Structure 1
Amino acid sequence: MKTRHSLLVLFCCLLFAPLSFAQSGPEAHSNDGQSNFDRAFYDIYMHVASTDVNVALRAADSLYRVSTTDIQQVRALMLIGEMHRRVANRDSSIYYAERAIRIANNAKLYEWQARIYGALSTQLREMGLLNKGAHYLALGLKAIEHIDNEHVVWQYKGLSLQESGHYALEKQDFSGALADFQQAEVFLKKLSESPSTLFMLAQNHERLGLCYLELGRLDSSRIHYERALELEPSPGTAESPVKGLIYTGLGLLDIKDNQDSNAYAYLQKALHIAETTEFPSLKIDVYEALAAYYRKAGDLEAYTKYNDLFLATQNQYNQRNKGYVDEVFTGVEANFAKVSASNRLLLVFSACCLVVCGLGFLFFLRRQRKQRRRFKEIIANLRNSRVYTTSVDPVENIDLVVDDGGEEPVADHPREVVSESTRIELMDKLTQFEASHGFIEKGISIAVLAGKLNTNTKYLSHVINQYKGKDFNTYINELRINYIISKMESDARYLNYKISYLAEESGFSSHSQFATVFRGIAGMSPSTFIAYLRKEEKDVDERSLVS
């Protein structure tokens, strides 16, 4: 079984959150203000975020506004960044980490410098930037040298070894990862018992369970997964993504052990947590595991459903990571270069800044040209076709087999699951659905659309996958984005509407969801696209005046 990348994303939660709960000594709780802050912080991170990330984000922002010390501001900023990271908003997550590291550096908060560098290491590792991630992990270890409190040092060293284990897992070095997580446990066991310590140990046992699972040592794997479940401190009414990972691992173990009923029960628990917490990486793991379960069970319809969900969620997650690498990382790198160069000679500092600025300007020009080309392509395609769907190549002729019973011909193809007449009927109905703009209806799902078209989700999913060339979510999102682009291009009033109105008009439930999907399809943000449209409109008006 291959290592699932999405199982490797929770270290960032542990790197700064549990450390946030643990204080440097008794003096940390010497006043009610600090205790109230700690309680609010813990409640937002462990409970509110497990049920509604958007509510947690607003609460974290409020916590920042009432922060009175440098440490409180840093912690609140990192909490806000973590909420953005949970929904894969990489640029926002890094932005708040930047603000936090500036405060930590100015106030000489070495402990928090180490934590933030560690969080950045995790972010970069998740995007595949392993060398850069390892660089920031080394900076964190250097910052921890200034700290005398052995409790804090043990925490950070334990978590750093966990991060080293994640790097080994990325390289599929399971034996190396196992050794790192075993060493991490030595440091974590030295800590006094607290919810944050239990949380870290639970995560570590979950990682050990994964390593043993990948190495084929199923009995050892089960021992660690069950130990992780015992240690995980979240209450049943507000279960954390870590518990979702534990249930997923136990489900996969039971699939291997042919204990199908146990596997189903564990995976249903994991699914509930994944869809409650809206943690994209956990959803990817759970959907993939459920697809494996139903494939083994021979349930084609359920397998297709969860395999489609797995592919769609993974694609969206990867697109967000790619957008961040293309548009944000250069600016982050420049800012940290300035911080690290602050103690160098003025001449070296100036030279570095010039190089960074020059490279940044070149990247900016390249991105502008790329966006401009993409804008022209979109507008040209729109004016040529004046349809809201992407073109589909004609279906090749398929030899049909008719049995002696005179039943409807069925395509002689191992992947064909619907008859030719059903396919044609569904394609016609989809064309009508697109023309009527039914895709802008809020809450549209494959089940809802199947009901409207008087078919079932299995047939509909197959037709969209095979003949539209995409999964259901991508199909709907592309229709919506092309629809609103057409509105903006044909009606100049739309260029003055707020992004939230455009999101509502095209069927999206939120501003942020619309912006993310728009960027993934158009290759730029809605505001950038509108700016190009305004410029084009202005150029046309000027040419008209000249002529």
Structure 2
Amino acid sequence: MIRILKEILKRNRPILFFVLWWPAFILGQANPDFSILTDKAFQKLYQNPEECISYSQSLLMSDKNIEHKVILRNIISQAYALQGNYIQSVSISNQKEDNDKKEGLSSFIQLFDDYNLADQYQNLGLYGQSKKIITDILKDPELLKSRNTKERMVFAKLFQLQAINSGITRNYDTALLNLDKSDGCLTGTNDENRIIKWENIIFRSSFLLRQNKLEESKILLDGVIEEIEKHGNNAFVSAFAYESLSRYFFLKEDYTSAVKNLDKGFSEIEKLPYNDLKIIFYDLYSRNYLALNNDEKYYYYNNLYTDLKAKLDSNKKEGIQYVVKLLETYHKKSIEFERQNKLRQFKITVVMSLILIAAAVAYFFNESGRSKDLKKQIDFFEKLKKKKESVLAHANRPKEKIEKEIKTPDRDPSKISKEKEEEILLKLEEWELSDNYLNKNMSLAILSAQTGINTKYLSEVINNNKGKNFNGYINELRINHIAHLLKTDAAYLNYKVSYLAEYSGFSSHGAFTNVFKSITGMSPHTYIQEIIKNKKS
């Protein structure tokens, strides 16, 4: 049942670039005829997702082999994800075979199916769950010693997924280490190995950009773009590389060069339905034209971005709601089971948490000031500084110490236990690192799905520990985030307040301004002017 669940991106989250290695594992897993058919389906995945879906579904209807169906459904699922149709991507993965037949699947296909589950979680933005699944798969040292080429290709993709998950929480050193492990699993010389290596280079350059290692990142991007163009017929990966290179020029404040690289990348996919990648191009176009004071093109691309984002967010929300309903079903069953046998319920809850919820570990505890009085800008900067120090302090705490701090349970059965409350707070800390609160559609139900915490417990813990209700909690995270960007990234000082409001997830300019002033003690305009004055002095 667990395999029916599968984010991702948050908008700034990195895109997961589908499975690139079908022919490598199909040889020896299926007969030559099926290998040829799936190889053709795989090629269509890069040429046009819609054609890939139609072609693969025709194969799925005529093929009775259970393992073939697992492979074909993964191709179709990936094609839907590339279109930004997340609910269909999840739905096709939910179509499972009879249990007696599933038990006969090879160990490789079961490993591959677990990878597909982690992939689906990441597509929905459930990065903590994706990370937990991958950790469980890779914790067996004997399994990692496998010399089977097909399995090593799966390991390469799992480590790549884990690198993306680490990047989402800004743990870039761990992300780069996982990319090293992914490269270490790529021992072949075929096209699939080559493309995965290209992806790893692009992801690596992206993480280096975020560490402000700009020139080191550009050297990698220049090299991989040369390799991609040399081999040709790699439109999707080529667009991915040029998009990353445009970010380099954006950070260098060379907006003209950034636009030129966006043009090169977008020309590769302009007539193809890769909506999950196109939305990133629209966002980058609007940012660069805003910096260039080209209002006409800014509004054009910003409208394209806003329209497509609304469509994709709605589809992703449906996928997450599907997960929420499933989690709520399991939660109700767990409560009923507790009435019958508390000890057994505890064990089942632990198992369900590991398998279904798999919410991530502790990181980032913050208590922001709630004063509504006017404050000086320096006071707010000091608050942000203390918050960063608090994050680092929590990140450096030994795991044993964290576990020791939450050992004392509350014996009152009518209230949430102290142990459970601390556990929920730790999960919220890690969730805050993902920037998912910037999603305009963020709700208590979605937060429940992304953290694996029951909505009732979430509401109670937020009210009791954050000193505000859910909306106040989310709004403060948003304002702290945008205030930090305005202080640390000069490009944001050029943006209009309406764009900052949209970026932060607020429904209107007015709502953003009111909340910003209530938290920082000044309007967004005043805040920006103060920063500019300080930079000039």
2:107 match: 110
1:71 match: 67
- Listed one character per residue, the Cα deviations across residues 36-94 of structure 1 (whole Å, up to 9, x for unaligned) are 224323322233x2xxx222211111122343533322111111112222223333222
**1:89, 1:320 within 8 Å by CA — same for their partners in 2?**
yes
1:91 match: 87
1:323-362 matches, within 5 Å, as 323-331=318-326
- Listed one character per residue, the Cα deviations across residues 317-338 of structure 1 (whole Å, up to 9, x for unaligned) are 2222112111355448979xx9
Aligned residues: 343
**1:28, 1:34 within 8 Å by CA — same for their partners in 2?**
no
Amino acid at match of 2:181: Q
1:39 match: 39
1:220 match: 216
User: Which SS does the other structure have where 1:22 is aligned?
Assistant: helix
- Listed one character per residue, the Cα deviations across residues 112-156 of structure 1 (whole Å, up to 9, x for unaligned) are 222222222232234332332233324544799399543234323
**1:101, 1:113 within 8 Å by CA — same for their partners in 2?**
no
Following superposition, the deviation at residue 9 of structure 1 comes to 5.2
- Listed one character per residue, the Cα deviations across residues 283-335 of structure 1 (whole Å, up to 9, x for unaligned) are 22111211122122221111122122223322322222112111355448979
Closer, same or farther: CA 32–111 of 1 in aligned 2, 3 Å: closer
Closer, same or farther: CA 146–286 of 1 in aligned 2, 3 Å: closer
Amino acid at match of 1:162: Q
Please, which runs of 5 or more residues in structure 1 have no aligned partner? 339-347, 357-366, 368-413, 418-464, 470-547
**1:157, 1:184 within 8 Å by CA — same for their partners in 2?**
yes
Task: Give the one of 261, 284, 289 matched to 1:266.
Answer: 261
Structure 1 residue 80 corresponds to structure 2 residue 76: yes
Closer, same or farther: CA 108–316 of 1 in aligned 2, 3 Å: same
- Listed one character per residue, the Cα deviations across residues 457-509 of structure 1 (whole Å, up to 9, x for unaligned) are xxxxxxxx999x9xxxxxxxxxxxxxxxxxxxxxxxxxxxxxxxxxxxxxxxx
Amino acid at match of 2:178: D
- Listed one character per residue, the Cα deviations across residues 423-454 of structure 1 (whole Å, up to 9, x for unaligned) are xxxxxxxxxxxxxxxxxxxxxxxxxxxxxxxx
Q: Provide the C-alpha distance between the structure 2 equivalents of 1:135 and 1:102, rounded to a whole number of angstroms.
A: 27
Amino acid at match of 1:223: I
Closer, same or farther: CA 334–197 of 1 in aligned 2, 3 Å: farther
Q: Provide the C-alpha distance between the structure 2 equivalents of 1:333 and 1:121, rounded to a whole number of angstroms.
A: 20
Q: Percent identity?
A: 14
Amino acid at match of 1:214: R
Following superposition, the deviation at residue 202 of structure 1 comes to 0.9
2:127 match: 130
Which protein is bigger by CA-based radius of gyration?
A: 1
Q: Provide the C-alpha distance between the structure 2 equivalents of 1:109 and 1:272, rounded to a whole number of angstroms.
A: 42
Amino acid at match of 2:311: Q
Q: Provide the C-alpha distance between the structure 2 equivalents of 1:334 and 1:72, rounded to a whole number of angstroms.
A: 31
Please, which runs of 5 or more residues in structure 2 have no aligned partner? 1-7, 334-343, 353-444, 446-494, 499-506, 512-537
Q: Provide the C-alpha distance between the structure 2 equivalents of 1:415 and 1:6, rounded to a whole number of angstroms.
A: 20
Q: Provide the C-alpha distance between the structure 1 equivalents of 2:319 and 2:164, rounded to a whole number of angstroms.
A: 21
Q: Provide the C-alpha distance between the structure 2 equivalents of 1:298 and 1:245, rounded to a whole number of angstroms.
A: 26
Q: Provide the C-alpha distance between the structure 2 equivalents of 1:145 and 1:334, rounded to a whole number of angstroms.
A: 34
1:524 match: none
Q: Provide the C-alpha distance between the structure 1 equivalents of 2:32 and 2:151, rounded to a whole number of angstroms.
A: 26
Closer, same or farther: CA 254–80 of 1 in aligned 2, 3 Å: same
**1:77, 1:100 within 8 Å by CA — same for their partners in 2?**
no
Following superposition, the deviation at residue 203 of structure 1 comes to 0.8
Task: Give the one of 167, 170, 187 matched to 2:168.
Answer: 170
With normalisation by structure 1, the TM-score equals 0.54
Q: Provide the C-alpha distance between the structure 1 equivalents of 2:195 and 2:23, rounded to a whole number of angstroms.
A: 11
**1:7, 1:245 within 8 Å by CA — same for their partners in 2?**
no
Q: Provide the C-alpha distance between the structure 1 equivalents of 2:329 and 2:133, rounded to a whole number of angstroms.
A: 14
Amino acid at match of 2:281: V
Amino acid at match of 1:186: G
Q: Provide the C-alpha distance between the structure 2 equivalents of 1:148 and 1:415, rounded to a whole number of angstroms.
A: 54
Following superposition, the deviation at residue 100 of structure 1 comes to 5.3
Closer, same or farther: CA 208–101 of 1 in aligned 2, 3 Å: farther
Q: Provide the C-alpha distance between the structure 2 equivalents of 1:123 and 1:43, rounded to a whole number of angstroms.
A: 21
Q: Provide the C-alpha distance between the structure 1 equivalents of 2:97 and 2:208, rounded to a whole number of angstroms.
A: 37
**1:155, 1:187 within 8 Å by CA — same for their partners in 2?**
yes
**1:251, 1:262 within 8 Å by CA — same for their partners in 2?**
yes
**2:42, 2:52 within 8 Å by CA — same for their partners in 1?**
no
Structure 1 residue 11 corresponds to structure 2 residue 8: no
**1:229, 1:243 within 8 Å by CA — same for their partners in 2?**
yes
**2:235, 2:269 within 8 Å by CA — same for their partners in 1?**
no
Q: Provide the C-alpha distance between the structure 2 equivalents of 1:147 and 1:68, rounded to a whole number of angstroms.
A: 33
RMSD (Å), alpha carbons: 4.2
1:59 match: 55
Structure 1 residue 158 corresponds to structure 2 residue 163: no
With normalisation by structure 2, the TM-score equals 0.55
User: Which SS does the other structure have where 1:276 is aligned?
Assistant: coil
Amino acid at match of 1:156: V
1:211 match: 207
